[in-house]
Amino acid sequence: MKIEARGLVVALRSRSVLRGLDFVAHPGEVTAVIGPNGAGKTTLLRALAGLVRPGVGAVMIEGRSIADWSPPALARALAYLPQERIVHWALSARAVVALGRLPHQAMGAGESAADARAIDAALAAMDIAHLADRPVFEMSGGERARVLVARALAQEPRALLADEPVTGLDPAHQLALFRHFTALAGSGRAVVVALHDLSLAARFCHRLVLLEGGRAVAAGTPQDVLKEEHLAAVYGIRARYVTIDGVPVVLARDVLP
């Protein structure tokens, strides 16, 4: 499912956040949205999910304007994972993951066999099947994060928009999650991930989009985007894109004056 945005202008509380941003994410690819704090990563993802309406510009999902999608149809096609890991009530992990099936359930319908399969698959994918009955409030931050990703997976979406999904996760789980994203993309879905960790972005993402000040200043393969001059201009650091043991790493050497 192709996700595209052209000339997005979004203002929040009379402050300009996105200033004419172009973006595209292709099915079969993991696209990373990177940039410093305040660059507009979260707002971009929210705009792509249809949660905030742009003042200027359009978001196109599968070639159709997002405004032409009915909310239920959009919810079946696209899963959005917010940055704040909110769970207001002490539900069990399984109950939280089951919420991802809501777009597929008619009003008042219970859980179908298909629902149960999707939930169990999501629990297994995130390695939390053993925590299914544990209340989310009694879990560690990392475990809770995986529960919420599982919720998005249970939606069986054609596209996944994840805002900082790996922050606070153990390295093993970070790797596992990105391997899962790669597999998702491999099965024909579009995966868009906003993240801070440049090395992870370089290693697992097919395409990177570097944001600064509400605009996309670079887009392309990791090598194209993670050039020294880009990192210096946007992040104010002297950094190098290297490969260690075949694994790409962005090495931050110094803060620039």
Partner 1 sequence: MMPPAGQRDARGLRLLGLVAGAAAAAFLLSLATGPAGFGLRLPGDAGRLIFQEIRLPRAVLGALVGGSLGLAGAALQGYLRNPLAEPSLVGVSGGAALGAVLAIHLGLTSLFALALPAGGLIGGAVAVLAVLALAGARGGPVTLILAGLAVSSFAAALIALALNLSQNPFAAVEMVYWMMGSLADRSLTQVRLAAPLMLLGIALLLTVGRALDALTLGEDAARSLGIDLDRTRLAVVAGTALCVGAATAVTGIIGFVGLIVPHVLRPLARNRPGLLLPASLFGGAVMLLVADVALRLLQPWVELRIGVLTALIGAPFFVWLVLRTRSELAP
Footprint of partner 1 (CB under 8 A) = 46, 49-51, 71-72, 74-76, 78-82, 84, 86-92, 94-96, 99-100, 102-103, 107, 110-113, 115-116, 120, 132-133, 135, 148, 151, 155
CB of residue 191 to partner 1, shortest distance in Å: 15
Is the Cα dihedral 23, 26, 27, 31 positive or negative? negative
Question: 216 - beta bridge partners?
Answer: 211
Of 51 and 251, nearer to partner 1 (C-beta) is: 51
Token pair in block for residue 37: 């704090």
Pairing of strands 78-81, 159-163: parallel
Of 136 and 239, nearer to partner 1 (C-beta) is: 136
Of 103 and 214, nearer to partner 1 (C-beta) is: 103
CB of residue 111 to partner 1, shortest distance in Å: 4
Of 21 and 96, nearer to partner 1 (C-beta) is: 96
Q: Are 150 and 160 contacting, i.e. CB atoms less than 8 angstroms apart?
A: no
**Buried b vs exposed e over 3-28: b needs ≥16 C-beta within 10 Å?**
bbbeebbbbeeeeebbeebebbbebe
CB of residue 136 to partner 1, shortest distance in Å: 10
Of 58 and 116, nearer to partner 1 (C-beta) is: 116
Q: What span, in angstroms and rounded, lies between the C-alpha atoms of 126 and 150?
A: 6
